[in-house]
A and B are shown apart, each in its own frame.
Chain A
Amino acid sequence: MVFLSVINWARCRGPDEFWRKRRIFRLAAHYIGRRRNCYSIAVRNVHRALVYATKARKLKKEDMKSLWDVRITAACEQHNITLFSLREGLDRANIMLDRKSLSDLASWEPKTFEALAAVAKYKLETDRFIDGQDKCHPTGINLNLKDVMLEAWLNEKKK
Chain B
Amino acid sequence: MSAAKRVQQWATFARSWHIFDCKWQDPYESAHVIKKYLMGMHKPIYHPMNDCGDVVVCINSREIALRGDEWRKRAYFHHTGYPGGASWTLAWELHNKDPTMIIKKAVYRAMTGNLQRRHTMQRLFIYPGENVPEDVLQNVTNQIRQIRYVPKRLDHIPEEEVKNYPKVMEYPEDFVVK
Contact = CB atoms under 8 A, between A and B. Distances in A.
Interface residues of B, number: 7
A55 B67 CA distance: 44
B41 to A, nearest CB: 6
Contacts of A75: 44
A78 B12 CA distance: 14
B176 interface: no
Contact of A106 (B42, B44, B47): B44
A70 B41 contact: yes
Contacts of B42: 74, 77
Contacts of A77: 42
A92 B42 CA distance: 26
Interface in B24-78: 41-47
Contacts of A67: 46-47
Interface string A91-119: 00000000000010011001000000000
A74 B41 CA distance: 6
A123 interface: no
A72 B43 CA distance: 9
Contacts of B44: 71-72, 74-75, 78, 103, 106-107, 110
Interface string B121-145: 0000000000000000000000000
B25 to A, nearest CB: 19
Contacts of A73: 41
Nearest to B40: A74
A110 B11 CA distance: 13
Contacts of B41: 70, 73-74
A69 B43 CA distance: 12
Contact of B45 (A72, A78, A107): A107
B33 to A, nearest CB: 11
A75 B41 CA distance: 10
A110 B8 CA distance: 12
A47 B38 CA distance: 40
Interface in A57-80: 67, 70-75, 77-78
Interface centre among B42, B44, B45 (most CB of A within 10 A): B44
Interface in B12-30: none
A34 to B, nearest CB: 28
B16 to A, nearest CB: 14
A135 B47 CA distance: 38
A100 B45 CA distance: 13
B38 to A, nearest CB: 14
Nearest to B43: A74
Nearest to B45: A107
A144 B47 CA distance: 59
Interface of A: 67, 70-75, 77-78, 103, 106-107, 110
19 contacts: A67-B46, A67-B47, A70-B41, A71-B44, A71-B46, A72-B44, A73-B41, A74-B41, A74-B42, A74-B43, A74-B46, A75-B44, A77-B42, A78-B44, A103-B44, A106-B44, A107-B44, A107-B45, A110-B44
The 6 closest A-B pairs by CB, nearest first: A106-B44, A75-B44, A107-B44, A71-B44, A74-B44, A74-B42
